[in-house]
Amino acid sequence: MIVQVLTDAPKHNYALMRISAYHKAQGDMVVLNEPINYEYDLSYGSWLYNQRYYTDIAGGTIKPLIGQRLDDKFPIMPDYTLYPNNDFSLGYTWEYCPRKCGFCIVSKQHNKKCHRSILEFHNPKFSKICLLNNNTFTDPQWKETFEEIWDNKLIVVDENGYDLRLLDDEKAEALKKTKFDGQVHFSWDLMEDEVRIVRGLKIAKEHKLNAMVYVLIGFNTSRDEDIYRCQVIHHLGFDPYPMPYNGGSRADKAFKRFVCLRYYRQGYRNMKEAWENYR
Domains and CATH numbers, the chain: 1-75 (no CATH), 76-278 (3.20.20.70)
**Which pTM value belongs to this model?**
0.89
| Per-residue pLDDT band at 79 (split at 50, 70, 90) | very high
How large is the average pLDDT for residues 252-265?
A: 95
Q: How far apart are CA 264 and CA 274, in angstroms?
A: 5
| Per-residue pLDDT band at 107 (split at 50, 70, 90) | low
pLDDT at 108: 65
Cβ–Cβ < 8 Å for 181, 155: yes
pLDDT at 98: 77
pLDDT at 136: 95
Sequence-separated (6 or more) residues with CB below 8 Å from residue 169: 203, 206, 207
**Percent of the chain's residues with pLDDT above 90:** 73
Q: How far apart are CA 91 and CA 14, in angstroms?
A: 7
Q: How far apart are CA 248 and CA 225, in angstroms?
A: 16
SS3 105: coil
Cα–chain center distance at 61: 14
SS3 104: coil
The chain-wide mean pLDDT, for the chain, equals: 90
61 has a pLDDT exceeding 80: no
| Angle (CA) 141 145 148, round 5° | 135
Residue 166, number of CB atoms within 10 A of its CB: 14
